Each structure stands twice: as C-alpha cells, then as structure tokens.
A and B are shown apart, each in its own frame.
Chain A
Amino acid sequence: MNLDKFNDPEIVKKIALSIEQEASKIPKTVKIMHICGTHENSIVRFGLRDLLPQNINLIAGPGCPVCVTSSRDIDAIIDLALKENVKILTFGDMLKVPGSRLSFSKAKSMGADIQMIYSIFDAIEIAKDTNKPCIFFACGFETTAAPTAAALLEINLPNNFFIYSVHKYTPNGVYALLKSGKISMDGLILPGHASTISGLKAYERFVNEFSIPSVAAGFEAVDVMLAVLMIIKQINKKEAKIENSYKRVIRYEGNKKALEFLDRVFYLTDALWRGLGEIPESGYELKDEYERMDAKKQFSINYSDSYIEHQKGCRCSDVILGNIIPTECPLFAKRCTPADPIGPCMVSDEGTCKNWFDGGYGEI
C-alpha cells in the first residue's frame, strides 16, 4: 500500500481548512476523544493538535493496554516469580510498569526470571528450550488477545507453557465508562487496530445510547484529520452515527475468524482496569477447557487487597479518563519521565504521558 497519499501535506492542509470552517459554526469547545494509544502516538508524531482550531479539543482516552493493566496482577506475578522457580515472559513495555512496589524489571534485577518477548510465538519457542514452567503475562486488547487465542488453538503448546491473561476488551470497557459518567465527550474516534477485530458493530450501542458521533480512523495524518472533520460535520448536522474513514482495513462486522478464535478460547468477565476499577464483562479469561494452560489455576497466586494502582501524586487515572492533559500532572517531566516512570502512562509508546513527553508538548 502506498502510505504517502495518507500523509500528503496538501490533503492534510485542505482537511484542516474544512475543519476550521465547520468548527467556526460551533459556538463552544468540542471535546473529541480517541481511545487508542496508537492514535495518540500519531497525533503527537504528526503534530496534529497544532493544525486544529482553538475550539477543537482532541484528547486521549483509555487507549494503552499497558496503562490499564492493574497493579494487582503485576504484583501477584512478581510475587510468584520471586518465590517460585518459574519464568515470566512478557512484552518490553510491560517490564517497566511500576506495580505497587516493584516493576518486572526491578524484580528481574532482584533475581526473578523475567524475559522480554515480542510475541506469544517467541514465548512458546523459549518454553520449548527449558523445563522450567514458563508463564506468558498476556496483556493487550483484542488485537493482542486474538493471537493468544490463535496460538492456543493452532499450536501444540509445550507442557510447561502457561498463560496469565490480563487481556481486555475495549468496547465494553469504554461503554462502562460512558455509562458511569466518568468520561464525557462530544465525539469519539474509534480505534484503528482493535476495531479490525471487534468491528464497528461493537460500538453501535454507544451511538444509540449516548448519541455520540463516532468515526473509525487509521493512523496516518489524513486518517486522523478526516475522522475529526467527519465528527464535526455530524455535530453540525446534529447527527450521531458510526462512520468508517478506515475502510481499507476495518469492516463493520470485524474479523470473523479472529472473533471466532476469541470466542472459543476466552469468555468475558469482570476485570480490573488500572485506576478505573472493576469493569463488567471487559476481561478475557481462559475457558475451562484450557485449564491446563491457565496460570491462574495452575499456580497459587496471591492477590493482595492493598495494591497501589497509582503512586501518590500520579494523575494517571485522570489522564486516562481525559479529565486532564499530562502537563497538568505535577509530576510530569519532573519526577516522572520515561527513564523513571512514576505512573504507567509514562511507560509505553502508547501511553499518553510518554507520548506528550516524547513530543515535547509545551517546549517549543
């Protein structure tokens, strides 16, 4: 695919102009939220906020899978890794996320056997080379849950391979937040990757129940700008429907095969989202048939009641909810930097604070 036309400056400038015209008809500030870490990354990378009129406020929601993984789960696995002869395998960004006391990488320097992997397939290969029980700490939204499911179904997993699932299902998470009134917005940019799996169908009830203009978008500059324009147009027309500006990738029904895999392997259950509490039907848990691989069932895992989701002063949950922007957190770029993150939002390239730090907002 030629990505160039999706980053064509002339097209972007034209869209920016149309956005300005449409926005001038709206007498108030419009809050458009995206719920995708990669969108935030693109917005910062392309400097898109610079191109929007004053009254269009583009904010980040709970879009980073690393950010929403609860300390309770991180603590429990670290605890296990320090006590028992097991190997923990997880994604690079996950390693640095602070739990209540330790991060995986700090636990590693204390002797826990924790290794970074790029995908579940790496993890399986590593398990084949050892007799040690290997636990894959599986985080991520449906985009990452789908490969986990596929691996379970399609590969003969070694006997020493286990999965600890903290996978989460985006649409139900956001739905619950909307319902609770914790987040509010005038328009929603639907996630690019996750929607390829869940499809736009999964968001239909948002639009119906909360009348939120919603547009699915890809990750190039044109994609995001176009989604903003389409949302403002809906607002001006007093409409609220789902539109798809990313037809080259996303389908209304989603990816049927991936959905079927997910359905065969997982069931949805109440899950803890970091800083947001328990959200109904938003976590992927392994079905009973997969008990053999389910680390939660095969190991004695101790959950503490007193886990700390966010350190003192950290405003991550407000950042995730779009209530504040990262620079409003007193720790931002001072005590909290990617080299030494206080909160999870400063860890991964999908984390809002990390993106803002990298892009140097407020510094130019």
Chain B
Amino acid sequence: MKSEKITLDHGSGGKLTLKLIEEVFKAEHSLDAAILSEIAFTTDSHSIKPLFFKGGDIGKLAISGTVNDLLCVGAKPLYISSAFIIESGFEIEQLKRIADSMKKEAEDANVKIVCGDTKVVENGKCDGVYINTSGIGKIIRAIDGSDIKDGDKVIVSGYIGDHGFAILNERENLGIDAELKSDVANLTDLILPIIESDLKIKIMRDPTRGGLAMCLNELCYSKNFGFEIEESSIPVREEVKVISEILGIEPYYSANEGKMVIVVDKDDAEETLSMLRNNPKGKNAAIIGEVKSELEGKVVLKTAFGSKRILRMPISDKMPRIC
C-alpha cells in the first residue's frame, strides 16, 4: 500500500477498503458472513453521524446490518451479540433509545441478542457511540455464488440510494427539503422465504456502503463474469433523483441499509420478483440486468439511449461537486 497511513477512504467501503482487507488483514475477500458447515457467522462495527436519523438510528442499523449479512449467505439469523463503545458524557436517555430500538428490531427480525459488552472511553474519543454486532445464523442452504452463469438475472429488492442521501442531507444540513428517509430495515421476512424456497438463487449481497455500484463490482471482482445493467430499470425514488442531480452524485454510489441484490437463474427470475413484490419491503423490486461472461469483472451500464459505460467501483466516498 503506497500511503503509509489509514485515511478515511480506507473505511469508505470502496476499493481501498478492499485493498486493506487483501493486503493488510490478508483475508480472502469473500462473503459478508462466513459459512461454517451448519452455521453462518458475521461481525460488523457501526459508526454513524447523526446517531438518530430519519427512518432509524444506530441501534436499528446495527441489528439489521448483521441480520442482512447472515441472510446474504443463505442463513436464518438466530443470535446476535452487541458490544458498545460509549463516550463519557453521553446521555443515558439516548443510550436507552438506542437499546430499545435494537430490541425492537431484533424482535422484528426474530433474532435474540444474547451477549454483549460495554466500554466507556474519554470524552471526544468517539462520536457518541460505536456498536459492534456479531451474528450467528443457521445455514438453510449455502448461497455462495459458485454456480453463476451467463444469462442469470440481477434483481434489486427496491429503491436504491435512500439511506446514503438521507444521512448526507441530515448530517451536512444540505437543507434539501425532501421527505427522504433511510431505508434501514432487517430483511428477514422478505428474504428468508426466498432462501427456504427452491428458487435457484446464485448469490445475494446487501448494497450498503459504496451502494449498488460497489456491490455489483464486488460480486464480479476478479471473476470471469460481469454484469450488464439496464440503467432505466434501476428503481430510484424521485426525491433521490433530484438530490442526486443537485449534488452531482449518482444514486448508485449511495448506501442502502434495507435492500438486497439477488442474482438468480433466469428461469426463476420472474417468480423471485413476484415473491419480493408481495412483501411491502420488496414492492418496488425490479430485474435490473444480467450476468455476461464476456464482461469479465466489469459492470456495464446501458443507458436508455443505447450508449454504454462502465459503472466503476467507488474509490472513496463520493463528494458533492464544488459548484
């Protein structure tokens, strides 16, 4: 790694995060959760500013993030641990709100929070609260992307980009008066039935940091297939389109916390889609493209005008344009 120090970009979930995982942690970059014979195991740390935002809070985020990571690999989420790092001076009242919200989300996702840990650090050493959650799930069937082939369809379970833009709008006081809220949610009731079905699901991934662009790129990163995505099929909320225009950041780079990208055999695509659409969390699901082996590790976006371009893996967090 050329620069000797960690920069914020190393945590943005983009290409530099990937490099860190490969070169420093020497971990094989694989799935969101480890598949260990019968069980799946995952861990994630959460820091977010502001802690409470439209549509959720850090607690809800911590639980749903872990639940969704387990679902990705075909597991039924069961148990979660939660470790808090709290800044001294933090209001207990706020901590209660966070804990309550975790409890509620866990109930909704049908998982149990079974153990935890609390550390307090000096004032100013962390942004209020950091939460680490680990989760264990029971493998229903391992979904690991081993049998992806040409023509498989790519489905996204709903509108893209809500979380990232909602947070940016609130955190930076962009003052964009939009009814925009984070999509943070656990997807147990949406995805578990799909895992339990016999639909030929090839791989799943929740497009969190780095957004849809990162997610699709990661899925085909140094593989012998790529994706061709139909830009006009990607579901994007009207408000998000407007914010995206104003900031000059495409919705594909904006984070999602309650969405799933599913690659499924083309024969099962329609059925998967209708299962998703029958659930309120998936009512805006859409088939957005397909697997193409000739694209080898690339995500190609086809515009409505018939032109094509690459949808690149983000390098760092996208910046609003200067003017």
Contacts and interface: CB of A to CB of B under 8 A. Distances in A.
B25 interface: no
A359 B318 contact: no
B266 to A, nearest CB: 22
B259 interface: no
Interface centre among A49, A50, A94, A143 (most CB of B within 10 A): A50
Contacts of B320: 92, 118
Contact of B322 (A48, A144, A360): A144
Interface stretch (B47-55, B280-288, B298-306): B298-306
Interface stretch (A39-47, A226-234, A239-247, A305-313): A39-47
Interface in A168-220: 193-194, 219
Interface stretch (A6-14, A154-162, A283-291, A292-300): A6-14
A364 B309 contact: yes
B172 A122 contact: yes
B109 to A, nearest CB: 34
Nearest to B248: A349
A139 B2 contact: no
A358 B248 contact: no
A50 B302 CA distance: 11
A66 B320 CA distance: 13
Contacts of A352: none
Interface of A: 3, 7, 9, 12-13, 16, 37-38, 41, 44-51, 65-66, 91-94, 105-106, 109, 118, 121-122, 139-141, 143-144, 193-194, 219, 221, 337-340, 348-350, 357-360, 363-364
Contacts of B16: 339
- Mostly, the B contact residues are loop
Contacts of A7: 304
B104 interface: no
A121 B323 CA distance: 14
A51 B305 contact: yes
Given A106-B3, A340-B2, A363-B298, A37 B321 contact: yes
Contacts of A109: 3, 5, 7
B300 A364 contact: yes
A49 B307 CA distance: 8
B189 interface: no
Given A45-B250, A349-B318, A359-B310, A143 B305 contact: no
Given A105-B7, A140-B323, A348-B321, A12 B305 contact: yes
Nearest to B213: A358
A46 B319 contact: no
Contacts of B305: 9, 12-13, 16, 46-48, 50-51, 221
Contact of A348 (B174, B317, B319): B319
B83 interface: no
A181 B220 CA distance: 47
A140 B322 contact: yes
B15 interface: yes
